[in-house]
Structure 1
Amino acid sequence: MKLESKDFSNNELMDTKFTCDGKDISPQLEWTQIPESTKSFALSCIDPDAPAGDWIHWLVYKIPADKREIPQNGPVLGIEVENDFGKTDYGGPCPPSGTHRYFFRIYALDVENLDGINKNNFIDKVKEHTIESAEIIGLYKR
């Protein structure tokens, strides 16, 4: 499985428009080389460099199995879960200082839906049903 973006390259700086210093819009993401048994997708964006540990920027599940892209600032076509900003949508990079890494990860799942999911159990529930995953890392610094 492969995850790419037309808006940034792996381990490269993200444009300000995708951050709290800009328009705070989500970047375009597309995934390929999908396992045949995929029933749905889940997506996460997490900053492991936050002062208090992992900071959740974006959590989405129930993305239909026939979808291969989320357009820039586009509709997700899945169910978004509350992030660490207290919002149920994309929350762009907003680090206090220094360079932070933002891990965007797509998960191919063996189920269409995940019951009882929230930001605290999202990764564990997703991993229980992951067939394969892929990631791309965006950087942002202040």
Structure 2
Amino acid sequence: MKKSFSILTTLIIFSSTIFGQNTFTLSSNDLGGEATIIEEFNGFGCTGENQSPQLSWKNAPVGTKSFAITMYDPDAPTGSGWWHWVVFDIPANTSELKSGTGNTKLNLTPQGAIQSITDYGAKGYGGPCPPEGHGLHQYIITVYALKTDKLGLNENTNPAVVGYYLWNNTLAKASIVTYYQRRKK
């Protein structure tokens, strides 16, 4: 009986150590299951406010030297998806981007962070704007914990190249998914 109790206690401690660990997590105070007119792009026939959502993250792995954020629509009818936001070289002591950070004119990014070009051809955040009648699109927002403090890229680097550097330097990543469908005007 004592041996069974000891084994059971060991299993419980082991399970809570393995399964109860804090994981790298991304969250947003602004986003729910669907994006809104606040996040929607203003252009390409869309008339939203084009405001990037608030994002916060916690439990980055040991060894994290910087972060990056991307927002990607795999449902865009391009054959390669659509990159809506690419931010990198975010300092390791950062754990949040405020609402509107994607507007490069507001200078809300942490010092040293770079917002490069999107598939809209502009720097900063470009919100959801799926084609009319194309149905719901998913928007995957990902934070990357990186093993380098700088990627060595600049604000004119295209999303595919940034993605390659992210792939080579990622320690962990966490994502949230939101959906959006353009409403008929």
TM-score, normalized by the shorter chain, greater than 0.5: yes
Structure 1 partner of 2:31 = 8
SS at match of 1:134: strand
**What is the CA distance between 1:7 and its match in structure 2?**
0.9
The answer on 1:99 being equivalent to 2:136 is: yes
What is the TM-score of this pair, normalised by structure 2?
0.73
**Structure 1, unaligned stretches of length 5 or more?**
none
Structure 1 partner of 2:147 = 110
Structure 2 partner of 1:18 = 39
Inter-partner Cα distance in structure 2 for 1:137 and 1:116: 27
Q: Identify which range, 118-127 or 92-101, moves more after superposition.
A: 118-127
SS at match of 1:112: coil
SS at match of 1:124: helix
Out of 54, 69, 77, the residue aligned to residue 43 of structure 1 is: 69
Structure 2 partner of 1:127 = 167
Inter-partner Cα distance in structure 1 for 2:109 and 2:25: 18
Out of 100, 105, 111, the residue aligned to residue 73 of structure 1 is: 100
Higher RCO structure, 1 or 2 (CA under 8 Å, sep 6+): 1
**What is the CA distance between 1:22 and its match in structure 2?**
1.7
**What is the CA distance between 1:91 and its match in structure 2?**
0.3
Identical aligned pairs, as a percentage? 36
Deviations 1:96-134 (A, max 9, x none): 031111110000001010124622311111110100000
**Structure 2, unaligned stretches of length 5 or more?**
1-23, 42-46, 102-107
Larger radius of gyration: 2
CA RMSD of aligned residues (A): 1.1
Quick one: which amino acid aligns to residue 173 of structure 2?
Answer: S
Inter-partner Cα distance in structure 2 for 1:64 and 1:48: 28
SS at match of 2:84: strand
SS at match of 2:142: strand
Q: Which has the higher helix share?
A: 2
What is the TM-score of this pair, normalised by structure 1?
0.94
Quick one: which amino acid aligns to residue 25 of structure 2?
Answer: K
Inter-partner Cα distance in structure 2 for 1:70 and 1:50: 25
**What is the CA distance between 1:93 and its match in structure 2?**
0.3
Inter-partner Cα distance in structure 2 for 1:28 and 1:102: 15
Instruction: Write out the 4+ residue segments of structure 1 that deviate beyond 6 Å after TM superposition.
Output: none
SS at match of 2:77: coil
Q: Which has the higher strand share?
A: 1
Structure 1 partner of 2:178 = 138
